[in-house]
A and B are shown apart, each in its own frame.
Chain A
Amino acid sequence: GDSVTQTEGPVTVSESESLIINCTYSATSIAYPNLFWYVRYPGEGLQLLLKVITAGQKGSSRGFEATYNKETTSFHLQKASVQESDSAVYYCALGAINTNTGKLTFGDGTVLTVKP
């Protein structure tokens, strides 16, 4: 089946440091997978951070970037300079838009703590 593997947490970085959270996927049932990063801030619900529908493209939002690499089956999340407000749980997810199912397959989540 389809699966997503991401950096095991917790991850702790200091404010203004750079960040990378690794994500690799296996899409055995989806011909053209789409990739997503979702985030859950403390006390809030799960929300979309960024998405990339097409291989080779890059998505960005709130200073975060991720590039969909079909060759390495990766979708790593990066930020050049984190802020304390970035502390949250980050989930990489695999989907198949415009197929008969819109379901998402999630990674286990990575807890990020940014120290002031």
Chain B
Amino acid sequence: NAGVIQTPRHKVTGKGQEATLWCEPISGHSAVFWYRQTIVQGLEFLTYFRNQAPIDDSGMPKERFSAQMPNQSHSTLKIQSTQPQDSAVYLCASSPDSYEQYFGPGTRLTVL
């Protein structure tokens, strides 16, 4: 069991560029979550898929952020026109039943 895989581990973008973050959940897990961690805001929930369907995106910023889960083996978080305040560690987690979430190592996004 390789655990939740997130790629890339580090990404540096220039202001205004697009960033796409990838998450491969643990095989057989039906739920995928995205969180963001910053020093100022801490760990914040962004969005949640169950069986590939979007269930709750209440934490997603209304503009520039989108998430998809085109198949059961991966999810993507896309940030358009990145801004310095988007710099954070983005964490993906998967769960077989929502009781226990298994977190990936995170992607550290730096927007210059």
Chain A residues within 8 Å of B, Cβ to Cβ = 38, 45-48, 51, 53, 91, 95, 97-98, 100-109
Residue pair A45, B106 in contact (C-beta under 8 Å): yes
Do the beta carbons of B103 and A103 come within 8 Å of each other?
A: no
Q: Does B48 contact A (CB under 8 A)?
A: yes
Residues of the B chain whose Cβ atoms lie less than 8 Å from the Cβ of A105? 45
Tell me if B100 and A48 are in contact (CB < 8 A). yes
> Contact: B33 with A106, CB < 8 Å?
no
B48 touches A102 (CB 8 A): yes
Q: Taking the nearest CB of chain A, how far is it from the CB of B52, in angstroms?
A: 15
Contact of A103 with B42 at beta-carbon distance under 8 Å, contacts A45-B105, A97-B99 already known: no
Interface residue? B23 (CB, 8 A)? no
Report the Cα distance A17→B94, complex, angstroms: 35
Q: How far in angstroms is the closest Cβ of chain B from A107?
A: 8
B95 proximity list for chain A (CB < 8 A): 102
Chain A: minimal CB distance from B7 (Å): 14
| A104 and B45 contact, CB distance less than 8 A | yes
B42 touches A106 (CB 8 A): yes
CA distance A2 to B63 in the complex (A): 23
Q: B112: CB under 8 A from chain A?
A: no
User: B42 and A109: CB pair below 8 A?
Assistant: yes
15 contacts between A and B (CB under 8 A): A38-B103, A45-B104, A45-B106, A46-B93, A48-B100, A48-B101, A91-B43, A98-B98, A101-B56, A102-B48, A103-B48, A103-B58, A103-B59, A105-B45, A109-B42
